[in-house]
């Protein structure tokens, strides 16, 4: 018998993360599992070096945004009866998702995937793919309805 006591949902507050959250909430209900909602706050300069010459919002603004979004990510009526833990951390999504999963001894990670085209995948990489390859537990990947993977021959 499969036993699931802790479920981790890493979220970047995107549509794929919302789809993954729906699956995770249902799994948590079926297994009476604790649900861990995690947001990894990335340094925006990593993706937009042009900001180096402009003042960025203070670190606290990113933290307050993450805290507020995490608290409101799951609708109140869907939270009822759930054992929900929210957490945010500054860092690298792939690395910090794995660290959190190990530290909290989660049983399954439910992660959204963007279903990018093959070319975009090669250029940008995939947090979900890296998590699947290195996770200390099973990983369920969820792509929102209507999002399709575009095969390299069709790209």
pLDDT of res. 115: 57
Whole-angstrom CA distances from 45 to 50, 55, 57 are 8, 11, 12
Structural domain includes residue 131:
yes
Strand partners of residue 89:
40
Angle at which helices 127-134 and 93-104 pack, to 10 degrees? 40
Tell me, what CATH number does 106's domain have?
3.40.50.620
pLDDT of the chain, 155 residues: tens digit per residue:
889 999 999 999 988 899 999 999 999 999 999 999 999 998 765 555 555 566 677 788 889 999 999 999 999 999 999 999 999 999 999 999 999 999 999 999 999 887 554 444 444 457 888 888 899 999 998 887 754 444 444 44
Structural domain includes residue 73:
yes
Structure-token pair, residue 47:
């993706």
Structural domain includes residue 136:
yes
């Amino acid at each position: 018998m499969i036993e699931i006591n802790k479920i981790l949902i890493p979220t970047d507050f995107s549509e794929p993360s919302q789809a993954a959250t729906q699956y995770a909430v249902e799994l948590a209900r079926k297994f009476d599992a604790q649900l861990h909602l995690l947001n990894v706050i990335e340094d925006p300069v990593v993706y937009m070096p042009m900001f180096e010459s402009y003042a960025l919002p203070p670190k606290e603004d990113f933290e307050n945004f993450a805290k507020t979004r995490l608290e409101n990510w799951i609708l109140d009526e869907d939270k009822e009866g759930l054992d929900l833990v929210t957490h945010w951390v500054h860092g690298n999504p792939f690395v910090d998702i794995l660290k959190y999963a190990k530290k909290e001894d989660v049983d399954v990670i439910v992660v959204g995937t963007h279903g990018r085209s093959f070319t975009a995948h090669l250029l940008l990489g995939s947090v979900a793919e890296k998590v699947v390859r290195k996770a200390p537990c099973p990983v369920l990947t969820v792509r929102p309805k209507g999002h399709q993977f575009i095969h390299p021959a069709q790209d």
